[in-house]
């Protein structure tokens, strides 16, 4: 075993897949000579050279499209967005080309590509650098959307994403890059499309993904004596593993859904709707969700905390749902 942080887990995944397949390469802003804006690609330029670790100009629409074209011609690009907020500049490429190509061409061309980078809020980076993109991109058939929360899953899922023949949006959290965990030294993969029951429990199902798992773990620990919570990490947003969530809800009869992104049309809306389709008769209380409020991200520390899901809001939601 080895103890690594998320940053190192990601670096290992990229390095191992570049070793395994010479068609894998990484490009993005500052990934090479600067060693990555968040140091995920540290040392990769030295090891692999400038043909496979490629600095781009600040030209997201251009280099995302270039990578999609390269993928259509047989390469397996990893595109790093310095922030997933910058993917909006490349939205036409991701949406009109990557997502639709395989279906639109009747299966003639596929797009084996990974777009990865930090998603959602960091620390006071304000409105244009804090958006959670998963609800936007999960709405598009043809895209796989992954959002892990532990070093083990970050590594195993990124390796699976690189090997997947479809476009994968791999969402990271800047705030979680330093999270440490013991993981095997031997190679392992984590399958895309599988949620994980992180903690079994019998009183209530708590569902989340990405950075909000940290908040959920804290609340589960705090309520340990009082409520036996079953905690589920979605890990993959799309395809959604509703089966794992529904099985849990049939057991616990109560569910609270947590998401860093906005309330309206979010991931919790989808999970919640599918739960009522599958578990209507099993539910003993309405579903409750805790999401980001409907504001662009404010800069002020005070307001930023207020718009994001907080421990207090989550505790309140759980108590309300269980009527305790």
Query: Which pair of structure tokens corresponds to residue 251?
Result: 């057991």
Count residues near another protein (CB under 8 A).
Answer: 40
Among 71, 206, 213, 290, binds another protein (CB under 8 A): 71
- Determine the interface stretch with another protein among 53-61, 131-139, 256-264, 315-323 (rule: CB under 8 A): 53-61
> Which of 17, 60, 134, 270 is the catalytic position?
60
Among 1, 57, 186, 280, binds another protein (CB under 8 A): 57
The verdict on whether 110 is a catalytic residue reads no
51: contact with another protein by CB under 8 A: yes
> Which of 8, 17, 80, 129 is the catalytic position?
129
Among 5, 39, 42, 62, binds another protein (CB under 8 A): 62
Q: Is 136 left (phi over 0), alpha (psi -120 to 50) or beta?
A: alpha
25: contact with another protein by CB under 8 A: yes
At closest approach, how far in Å is the CB of 129 from another protein?
Answer: 21
Site string for another protein, 134-173 (x = CB under 8 A): -------xx-x-------------------xxx-------
At closest approach, how far in Å is the CB of 116 from another protein?
Answer: 18
65: contact with another protein by CB under 8 A: yes
The verdict on whether 129 is a catalytic residue reads yes
Among 105, 128, 202, 310, binds another protein (CB under 8 A): 105
Site for another protein in 239-298 (CB under 8 A): none
38: contact with another protein by CB under 8 A: no
Binding site for another protein (CB under 8 A): 25, 51, 56-57, 59, 61-75, 92-93, 96-97, 101-110, 141-142, 144, 164-166
Active site residues: 60, 129
């Amino acid at each position: 075993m080895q103890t690594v942080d998320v940053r190192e887990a990601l670096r290992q995944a990229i390095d191992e897949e570049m070793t395994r397949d010479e068609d894998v390469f990484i490009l993005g802003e500052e990934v090479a000579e600067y060693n990555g804006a968040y140091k995920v690609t540290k040392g990769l330029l030295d090891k692999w050279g400038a043909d496979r670790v490629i600095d781009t100009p600040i030209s997201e629409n251009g280099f995302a499209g270039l990578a999609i074209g390269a993928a259509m011609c047989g390469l397996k690009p990893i595109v790093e967005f310095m922030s997933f907020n910058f993917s909006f500049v490349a939205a036409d490429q991701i949406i009109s080309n990557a997502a639709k190509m395989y279906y639109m061409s009747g299966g003639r061309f596929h797009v084996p590509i990974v777009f990865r980078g930090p998603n959602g809020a960091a620390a006071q980076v304000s409105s244009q650098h804090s958006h959670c993109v998963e609800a936007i991109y999960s709405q598009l058939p043809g895209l796989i959307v992954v959002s892990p929360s532990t070093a083990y899953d970050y590594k195993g899922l990124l390796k699976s994403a690189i090997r997947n023949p479809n476009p994968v949006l791999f969402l990271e959290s800047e705030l979680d890059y330093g999270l440490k965990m013991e993981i095997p030294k031997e190679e392992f993969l984590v399958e895309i499309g599988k949620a994980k029951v992180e903690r079994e429990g019998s009183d209530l199902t708590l569902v989340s993904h990405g950075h909000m798992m940290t908040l959920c773990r804290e609340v589960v620990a705090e309520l340990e004596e009082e409520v036996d919570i079953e905690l589920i990490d979605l890990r993959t947003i799309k395809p959604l593993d509703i089966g794992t969530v529904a099985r849990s809800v049939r057991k616990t009869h109560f569910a609270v859904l947590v998401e860093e992104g906005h309330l309206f049309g979010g991931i919790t809306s989808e999970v919640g709707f599918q739960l009522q389709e599958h578990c209507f008769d099993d539910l003993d209380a309405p579903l409750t969700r805790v999401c980001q409020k409907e504001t662009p991200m404010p800069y002020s520390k005070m307001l930023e905390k207020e718009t994001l899901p907080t421990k207090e809001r989550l505790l309140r939601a759980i108590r309300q749902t269980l009527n305790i």
